[in-house]
A = this chain, B = another copy of it.
Amino acid sequence: MSMQDTASSGVALWRLVADGIERGIADGRFAAGDKLPGEMEIAETYRVNRHTVRRALAALAERGLVRAERGSGTYVEAQKLAYPLRSRTRFSEIVGAGGREPRGQLIEATDDVATRELARELGLKAGAPLVRIEAIRLADRTPICVSTTWLSAELFPGAGAVFAATRSMTKLLEHYGVRDYRRGATRITAGIVDATDAARLDLALGRPILVVDATDHDLDGKPLMTKHSRFAAERVEFLVES
């Protein structure tokens, strides 16, 4: 530190700048994807040299909080959500474990009929009545995934309204007396986001998504619901237990 004007505090200037920016990210002043002010501008607001700002940004970049793009600017990286893939996977618990607030939001709930594919997954006959729920799940204010969930309309009458009220699949199932459930086989692929999902996920067109298909069963192995989820690849990271 130079700081000939101030007594040395034992804390490096670049650290103070980095902490300040991180606080700005944490409290939402800079949201995921936002462009930070230019290095010169940051240097002026903190009254330090541009190189000191670069040191601070480098520290944040190493931790994955920001990403610099030459010629354009420095952007807030949505912190990738570590998403462990286990048989007992609860979105709310995963997000909560990361110190973020899980949210769910209903897009629409409609009636549907089972295709041969869906019927096989759910153990029903083709053409059986289903409830289809489109929902977004967020961590704090950041959309993580859009998922389409199908449930048997006969087993779960009015499921759409229940989800709209509870905003949680776990609570929805509890409402129908299902105390616990497990995830069955999970298929993961990747793709490019389509226009509809891009808008819902607040994602730029052409960005990659993780596509997850899974069916949940109760403890007796009876299928409860099957899901088709699209995760913003830049915001989530699946962890497979070793």
Contacts and interface: CB of A to CB of B under 8 A. Distances in A.
Contacts of A12: 8, 10-12
A223 B11 CA distance: 54
A18 B10 CA distance: 10
B15 A59 contact: no
Nearest to A13: B10
Nearest to A7: B62
A9 interface: yes
A75 interface: no
Interface string A9-52: 11110110010000000000000000000000000000000000
A9 B19 CA distance: 12
Interface in A150-204: none
Contacts of A9: 15
A218 B15 CA distance: 55
Contacts of A10: 11-12, 14-15, 18, 59
A34 to B, nearest CB: 24
